[in-house]
């Protein structure tokens, strides 16, 4: 049975990847940080030589966007040095790597979804560290895919959907940024896509190692995403009152990190190469909302 190593197995994407890989008849090793620290080269080499996986999917990441402003060194270790170490070991052992990255590498406003060929201009520490990780993977010489996605929300872990549900259960109104556009993307949908991409990557004839964008549709503002969450939560009986979303600007949302005003991703390349359709995020709201509020 083919073994796939999923780093960051304890996160929301790692959880979904494990489920999808098992359903696709792969043998899965999905250690969390406590079992595999990707910033330690000797540890990574030991695990890879023991497991001898056919494929590695790197879902490990430092995702505290505001925290990275004060702890950029820690974020860099996980988001940049970790992928560098993984890619170097993959190159040495001939193992292909799928590295998951983020829309945040695009800090600029262009008025249209960002294509893969666009030059990234990260606007915060988190984005800088994630872009460095991409660069290390691409320069490593290993067979790789770098897959950027946007606005992940899943059944496990913390995310925007669960945060809105928690706030809505105790408030009549919530202020949400209305001038930042994104593609909210279900973690389960991304996991399904990564498994399919991995199956293609493992075919002997595949040579299109590159950066790809995968993101759900339609794009929307964070404020409109919140409205959809509250409406569906009421329909499911999870809220017993209407929650008003008050639009605010990015300038009014006080945070340590500068967030992109337009995170929309162009996904045509991914669709064409891997024959993937982009999901509708509304179809996944129920399963996330019904998991209960954020822990």
d(CA 211, CA 124): 21
Angle made by CA atoms 63, 213, 24, in degrees to the nearest 5: 85
d(CA 104, CA 263): 7
User: Worst-scoring range by mean pLDDT, 145-154, 251-260, 274-283?
Assistant: 251-260
Helical (H) or strand (E) element with 139:
helix 125-139
Give the residue among 59, 58, 53, 56 at the shortest CA–CA distance from 1: 53
| pTM, rounded to two decimals | 0.96
Q: Does residue 293 form part of some domain? A: no
Q: Does residue 170 form part of some domain? A: no
CATH number at residue 55: 3.40.50.720
Q: Exactly one of 62, 126, 214, 284 is catalytic; which is it?
A: 126
- Structural domain including 129 reads 3-158+185-215+265-279
Give the residue among 186, 71, 88 at the shortest CA–CA distance from 136: 88
Report the domain count for the chain.
Answer: 1
Over range 159-171, report the average pLDDT. Answer: 96
Question: Would you call 266 helix, strand, or coil by DSSP?
Answer: coil
Q: Does residue 24 form part of some domain? A: yes
Q: Does residue 167 form part of some domain? A: no
pLDDT recorded at residue 107: 76
Long-range contacts formed by 158-161: CB under 8 A, 24+ apart: 158/12, 158/294, 158/295, 159/12, 159/187, 159/288, 159/294, 160/184, 160/222, 160/225, 160/226, 160/229, 161/229, 161/285, 161/288, 161/289
Is 104 catalytic? The answer is: no
Q: Does residue 10 form part of some domain? A: yes
Give pLDDT tens digits for 112-158. Answer: 999 999 999 999 999 999 999 999 999 999 999 999 999 999 999 89
Give pLDDT tens digits for 43-79. Answer: 999 999 999 999 999 999 999 999 999 999 999 999 9
Measured in degrees and rounded to the nearest 5, phi and psi for residue 14 equal -60, -40
Q: Does residue 86 form part of some domain? A: yes
């Amino acid at each position: 049975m083919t073994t796939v190593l999923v780093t960051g197995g304890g996160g929301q994407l790692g959880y979904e990847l494990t489920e999808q890989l098992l359903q696709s008849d792969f043998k899965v090793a999905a250690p969390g940080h406590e079992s595999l620290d990707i910033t330690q080269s000797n540890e990574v080499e030991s695990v890879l030589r023991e497991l001898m996986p056919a494929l590695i999917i790197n879902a490990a990441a430092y995702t505290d966007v505001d925290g990275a402003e004060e702890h950029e060194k820690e974020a860099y270790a996980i988001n940049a040095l970790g992928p560098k170490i993984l890619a170097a070991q993959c190159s040495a052992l001939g193992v292909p790597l799928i590295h998951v990255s983020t829309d945040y590498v695009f800090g600029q406003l262009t008025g249209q979804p960002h294509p893969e060929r666009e030059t990234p201009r990260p606007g915060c520490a988190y984005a800088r560290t994630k872009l460095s990780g991409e660069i290390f993977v691409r320069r490593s010489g290993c067979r790789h895919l770098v897959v950027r996605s946007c606005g992940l929300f899943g059944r496990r872990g913390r995310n925007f959907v669960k945060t809105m549900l928690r706030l809505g259960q105790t408030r009549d109104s919530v202020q949400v940024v209305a001038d930042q556009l994104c593609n909210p993307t279900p973690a389960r949908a991304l996991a399904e896509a990564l498994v399919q991409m991995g199956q293609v990557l493992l075919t002997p004839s595949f040579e299109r190692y590159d950066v790809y964008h995968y993101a759900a549709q339609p794009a929307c503002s964070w404020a409109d995403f919140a409205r959809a969450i509250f409406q569906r939560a009421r329909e499911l009986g999870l809220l017993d009152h209407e929650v008003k979303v008050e639009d605010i600007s990015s300038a009014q949302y006080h945070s340590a990190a500068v967030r992109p005003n337009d995170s929309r991703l162009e996904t045509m390349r991914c669709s064409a190469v891997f024959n993937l359709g982009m999901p509708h995020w509304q179809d996944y709201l129920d399963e996330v909302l019904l998991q209960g509020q954020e822990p």
